Amino acid sequence: MRLFEYETKKILTANGVPVPRNEVVESTAEIKITGPSVLKVQIPSGGRKKAGGVLFASDGKDAADKTASLLGKEVKGYKVKKVLVEEQVKVKSEYFMAITYDSARKLPVVIFSCEGGIDIEELAVKSPEKIVRRDINTAEGLHEHQMREVAAKAGVESKDVLKVGGILFKLLNIFFKYDATLAEINPLVKTEGGDFFAVDGHMELDDDALYRQKSLVESLGQREESKGKAQTEFEKRAAEIDELDHRGVAGRMIEFEGNLGLLIGGGGASLTAFDAIRKHGGKPANYCEIGGNPSVFKVKELVKLILSRKGIDKIAVIMNVVSNTRVDLVARGVVKGVIESGKNPADAITVFRIPGAWEDEGFRILKKHGVQYCDRTVSIDEAAQIAVRKSK
């Protein structure tokens, strides 16, 4: 479950993390802040500023006029129903801090940088030395001095290490307290007066642990805004393919703007594969689960659909060890789909990693067409790395 910014900030405030004075409104009449403010649409998506969903107002009247222009507007496929009106603060410096879960190594990790307010993935590529990571061993307990060490190592001024480390420690506790998969503050700002505020926050909760968060979920109320975008034509066509045959699953699709088509196993393995592709610098064109022994025809049609989209000429097939899905049927469907799309399987299929039932026969099919395949000795993370390398 992805929380809206205003919901994340309620949690931050309740746990001692300072945030600027703010109010979430559904009409201009609700605005009470009269000074300079920032207006931010509340949608379950990042990149709001680039999409025109963040505006700056000089006073209350300006805030009302600009809020009116945002309410009801469509931003990144979502209709805006709420706007967060927040007091502007005079920023002296910015920091990035997050706690997330490393799915490849199966442990929580702290990520911190003295350069906040930016695309952390881009910074990781261009200036990795500016990012400090620290694995969290829960068996050793959670200690604030560890977070102070992270802040100091990143280059936080000595006079600010206690405060920044303290906020990072609070964020770490929030991560565990609310069963989060991500707890992020970007940026944490230091004002010209020396105060610290979480200017933006982002949290995602583990859906499988929501039963432990009943009171929180009830307090959030109905979440119509988080239903997401309407299905794209690409996604609708995938669903139609899945309905062509009752056997197995091959068509649960979510479209993205990348260039690498994906066929990935369902459940946690699919998320692991998707995250690994992104971690290694790949740009997924879709999220698409397959499993339950789909027919050759369904797999073939799905592959043809993925490769029909402009800008996609390569595909990666990654699943965990399978027992209820035949590797040879998936391999045959993928190869047929690539060939019927007018492409060479050896070039278009970047990696095929499905170990399990009938794998020897599946690998013979792939070998015949020059496709690189992996058995269970190659991890999902390693397979993703191969796929990204061959897609560039």
51: which DSSP letter?
T
pLDDT of residue 324: 86
pLDDT of residue 225: 46
Measured in Å, how far apart are the chain's first and last C-alpha atoms? 32
pLDDT of residue 226: 45
Quick one: 32 exposed, middle or buried, by C-beta within 10 A (0-12, 13-18, 19+)?
Answer: exposed
Quick one: 233 exposed, middle or buried, by C-beta within 10 A (0-12, 13-18, 19+)?
Answer: exposed
**Alpha-carbon dihedral of residues 306, 310, 53, 30, nearest 10 degrees?**
-50
Sequence ranges of the domains in the chain: 21-87, 91-226, 233-391
Quick one: 125 exposed, middle or buried, by C-beta within 10 A (0-12, 13-18, 19+)?
Answer: exposed
Structural contact between residues 255 and 286, judged by C-beta atoms closer than 8 angstroms:
yes
**Alpha-carbon dihedral of residues 88, 91, 93, 96, nearest 10 degrees?**
10
pLDDT means per 10 residues, the chain with 392 residues, are 93 97 96 96 87 95 97 90 96 94 80 83 78 88 93 95 97 95 94 95 87 88 55 88 86 89 82 91 92 93 95 95 92 98 97 95 97 94 95 89
Q: Where are the alpha helices (DSSP H) in the chain?
A: 5-14, 60-70, 120-126, 144-154, 161-177, 214-220, 233-243, 268-279, 296-308, 327-340, 345-348, 359-368, 380-391
Quick one: 351 exposed, middle or buried, by C-beta within 10 A (0-12, 13-18, 19+)?
Answer: buried
Q: Could you give phi then psi for residue 45, rounded to 5 degrees?
A: -160, 150
Domain 21-87 and domain 91-226, same fold? Reply is no
Query: Does the pTM exceed 0.75?
Result: no
pLDDT of residue 217: 86
Structural contact between residues 330 and 351, judged by C-beta atoms closer than 8 angstroms:
no
pLDDT of residue 147: 96
Q: What is the CATH number of domain 91-226?
A: 3.30.470.20
- Residue 128 structure tokens: 């990795």
pLDDT of residue 323: 85
Order the strands of the 37-41 sheet from edge to edge.
Answer: 22-25, 83-87, 37-41, 54-57
The CATH homologous superfamily for domain 21-87 is: ATP-grasp fold, A domain (3.30.1490.20)
* DSSP β-ladder status, 54-57 and 37-41: antiparallel
pLDDT of residue 222: 62
Q: What is the CATH number of domain 233-391?
A: 3.40.50.261
pLDDT of residue 224: 53
C-alpha 378, offset from chain centre: 24
Three-state SS at 37: strand
Structural contact between residues 239 and 219, judged by C-beta atoms closer than 8 angstroms:
no
